[in-house]
């Protein structure tokens, strides 16, 4: 996905700056988009449809005559991509709190079923549901143990039995749900290396018994196109209601996400973004499109920030971004909070303009400890207005923080860049809103 965002970034930069664009410009840009999508392992037919629709719309009067044709073009690509990803967010279809809701997870070996079962349980628990996890993977040694450990971490009960009969376990789990008044039950199942008849039969039987409200395929985003093929077969055999794409945090080629909806007609409902139980995100087509296109995802970023910040703080941050009053002090606060929020990388990918531009190695090279020390060596005045930090102040700060003048300069540059990105992001957002309003 990273590479894809980078490519889109380049394409958009090239066309976005033009005061007027020709049909030829559009064709060239679309050709590059096509190559980028194919390279990202997006289904060929999906690419063709996407490209044709984009060209047709982009060659219309609206773009060629627009005041900012480049921006208009970018918007078309963005909207097309949102459509490709499924238009609107698809919530889980669960019953009210007084009736038991059933979720069945299925997928190939190692796709992330067990991890996802725990993630989903935590997600629903946080929404106030009383969740029971049921260990129905009796094939892989230690599979049951894995789920029990995860359940312990998130404070969700796991139902297990030393039996070899999946159906009997499921039946007993229902009794427990009834007795202990659970409102949601999640079944973790066995995976196989490949789709085989035995697995499908077991899943069919389990499905017939538990009658799931949601049958979710857990698919590994890293496998690209084959995740889509797998989804197709699972849907034909057991009927799925949606997909959870795991390992979305890896440097996947993004193809799976882009092809899934249009090939299988089943929505992506969640994405897995880390190994940890918190690493599950609701799939918002609009936001993912922005991320894929390298436009960042301010909304998710702010939401994520809210998880560790007080509501008021998060609003203040958003206001600062809009009013362009983001200072080095704020930057320092952010560094400290980001540490708490977890993976820098996944956060940076949400930052407009930064998606795909910073690799894991570069990140590791950035020593946030040094950055903290540098900012801490600044006076309040300097933190509020970085522009006053000239050569003399720089060397004083470097001495004070035990770093070098070059490092101080680098930090200031980086800060300036993120300020610029924020301004751009806010502008884009405003412009998008205006454009939407005008239509
Ligand atoms: N980075 C990352 N790793 C993940 C994600 N989801 C799962 N994993 C990792 O993928 C590996 C396999 O996950 P499991 O949950 O055991 O997969 P499974 O489908 O239950 O595997 P089997 O039970 O053997 O079929 C583990 O190392 C997980 O930590 C994710 O969203 N991101
Ligand atoms: Mg498992």
C-beta contacts of 67-73 below 8 A and 24+ residues apart: 69/18, 69/20, 69/21, 70/12, 70/15, 70/16, 70/17, 70/18, 70/21, 71/16, 71/431, 71/435, 72/435, 73/15, 73/16, 73/21, 73/26, 73/29
Mutate to test the pocket of ligand 1, among 112, 143, 227 (most ligand atoms within 8 A of CB): 112
Mean of pLDDT values over 224-231:
88
Task: Name, of 134-143, 187-196, 211-220, 295-304, the range with top average pLDDT.
Answer: 211-220
Q: What is the mean pLDDT of residues 338-348?
A: 60
Going by C-beta distance under 8 Å and a sequence separation of 6 or more, which residues neighbour residue 63? 21, 26, 57, 69, 72, 73, 76
Of 379, 409, 415, 372, the residue nearest 394 (C-alpha):
409
pLDDT digits 0-9 by tens, 347-390:
666 665 555 555 555 555 456 778 888 999 999 999 999 999 99
Give the model's pLDDT for residue 437. 42
pLDDT (0 to 100) of residue 319: 76
272 in ligand 1 pocket by Cβ < 6 Å? yes
C-beta atoms surrounding 91 within 10 Å: 10
The ligand 1 atom at the shortest distance from the C-alpha of residue 107 is 19
Query: Measured from the CB, is residue 274 less than 6 Å from ligand 1?
Result: yes
Partner residues linked to 220 by β-bridges? 246
Question: What percent of the chain is modeled with pLDDT above 70?
Answer: 83
* Span 27-48, pLDDT tens digits: 999 999 999 888 888 888 899 9
Angle, helix 285-292 to helix 255-264, in steps of 10 degrees: 140
**Which tens digit of pLDDT belongs to each residue from 138-163?**
888 899 999 999 999 999 999 999 88
Residue 6 CB burial class (10 angstroms; 0-12, 13-18, ≥19) = middle
Whether pTM > 0.75 for this model: the answer is: no
- From ligand 2's centre to the CA of 134, what distance in Å? 12
Residues 150 and 95 sit within 8 Å (Cβ to Cβ) = no
How far is the CA of 412 from the CAs of 30, 388, 405, 408, in angstroms?
Answer: 37, 11, 11, 6
Q: Which atom of ligand 1 is nearest to the CA of 280?
A: 31
The angle formed by the CA atoms of residues 266, 297 and 39, to the nearest 5 degrees, is 60
| Average pLDDT score, the chain | 84
What's the confidence (pLDDT) of residue 400?
Answer: 92
Whether residue 275 has its Cβ less than 6 Å from ligand 1: yes
CA 250/CA 257 separation, integer angstroms? 13
Worst-scoring range by mean pLDDT, 17-26, 95-104, 122-131?
17-26
Ligand nearest, relative to CA of residue 118: 1
CA of 147 to the centre of ligand 2 (A): 8
Asked if pLDDT for residue 338 goes beyond 80, the answer is no
Q: Evaluate: CB of 113 within 6 angstroms of ligand 1.
A: yes
Delineate the domains of the chain, giving CATH numbers in brackets.
2-85 (1.20.120.140), 101-292 (3.40.50.300), 298-438 (1.10.260.30)
Does ligand 1 come within 6 angstroms of the Cβ of 143? yes
Is the shortest distance between the CB of 279 and ligand 1 below 6 Å? yes
CA of residue 224 to ligand 2 center, whole Å: 20
Probe target for ligand 1 pocket from 107, 275, 279, with the most ligand atoms within 8 Å of CB: 275
Long-range contacts of 302-311 (CB under 8 A, 24+ apart): 304/341, 304/347, 304/350, 305/337, 305/341, 307/341, 308/337, 308/340, 308/341, 309/337
pLDDT for 100-140, tens place per residue? 999 999 999 999 999 999 999 999 999 999 999 999 998 88
Q: What is the pLDDT of residues 409-420, one digit of tens each?
A: 999 998 888 888
Ligand 1 center to 111 CA (angstroms):
6
Phi then psi for 234, rounded to 5 degrees?
A: -60, -40
CA distances from 356 to 279, 281, 310 (A): 20, 19, 29
Q: Is the CB of 277 under 6 A from ligand 1?
A: no
Ligand 2 centroid vs 238 CA: distance in angstroms?
19
Whose alpha carbon is nearest atom 25 of ligand 1? 109
Instruction: Provide the token pair at 348.
Output: 């940076």
pLDDT classification of 436: cutoffs 50, 70, 90:
very low
How many residues make up the chain in this entry? Answer: 439
Ligand nearest to the CA of 135: 2
Q: What is the Cα–Cα distance from 341 to 344, expressed in whole angstroms?
A: 8
CA of 120 from ligand 2 middle (Å) equals 14
Query: Among 189, 164, 166, 184, which residue's Cα sits nearest to residue 111?
Result: 189
């Amino acid at each position: 996905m990273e590479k894809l965002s980078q490519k889109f970034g380049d394409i958009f930069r090239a066309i976005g700056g033009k005061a007027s664009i020709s049909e030829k410009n559009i064709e060239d840009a679309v050709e590059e988009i096509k190559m980028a999508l194919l390279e990202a392992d997006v289904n060929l037919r999906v690419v063709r449809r996407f490209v044709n629709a984009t060209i047709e719309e982009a060659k219309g009067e609206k773009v060629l005559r627009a005041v900012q044709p480049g921006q208009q073009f970018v918007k078309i690509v963005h909207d097309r991509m949102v459509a490709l990803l499924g238009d609107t967010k698809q919530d889980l279809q669960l019953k009210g709190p007084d009736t038991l809701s059933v979720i069945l997870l299925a997928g190939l070996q190692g796709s992330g079923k067990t991890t996802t079962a725990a993630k989903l349980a935590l997600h629903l628990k946080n929404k106030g549901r009383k969740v029971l996890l049921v260990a129905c993977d009796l094939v892989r040694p230690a599979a049951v143990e894995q789920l029990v450990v995860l359940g312990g971490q998130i404070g969700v009960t796991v139902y297990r039995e030393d039996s070899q009969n999946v159906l009997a376990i499921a039946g007993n789990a229902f009794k427990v749900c009834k007795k202990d008044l659970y409102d949601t039950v999640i079944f973790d199942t066995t995976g196989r290396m490949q789709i085989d008849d035995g697995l499908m039969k077991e899943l069919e039987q389990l499905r017939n018994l538990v009658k799931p409200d949601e049958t979710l395929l857990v698919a590994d985003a890293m496998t690209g196109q084959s995740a889509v093929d797998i989804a197709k077969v699972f849907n034909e055999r057991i009927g799925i209601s949606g997909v959870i794409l795991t390992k979305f945090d890896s440097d996947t080629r993004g193809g799976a996400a882009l092809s899934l909806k249009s090939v299988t007609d089943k929505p992506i409902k969640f994405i897995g973004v880390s190994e940890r139980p918190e690493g599950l995100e609701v799939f918002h087509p609009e936001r993912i499109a922005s991320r894929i296109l390298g436009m960042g995802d301010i909304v998710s970023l702010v939401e994520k920030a809210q998880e560790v910040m007080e509501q008021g703080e998060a609003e203040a941050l958003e206001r600062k971004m809009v009013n362009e009053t983001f200072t080095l002090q704020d930057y320092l606060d952010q560094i400290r909070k980001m540490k708490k929020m977890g993976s820098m990388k996944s956060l940076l990918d949400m930052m407009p303009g930064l998606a795909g531009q910073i690799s894991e190695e570069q990140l590791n090279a950035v020593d946030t400890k040094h950055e903290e020390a540098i900012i801490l060596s600044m006076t309040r005045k300097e933190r509020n207005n970085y522009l006053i930090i000239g050569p003399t102040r720089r060397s004083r700060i470097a001495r004070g923080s035990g770093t070098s003048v070059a490092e101080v300069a680098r930090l200031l540059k980086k800060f300036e860049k993120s300020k610029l990105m924020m301004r751009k992001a806010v502008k884009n957002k405003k412009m998008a809103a205006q454009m939407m309003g005008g239509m």
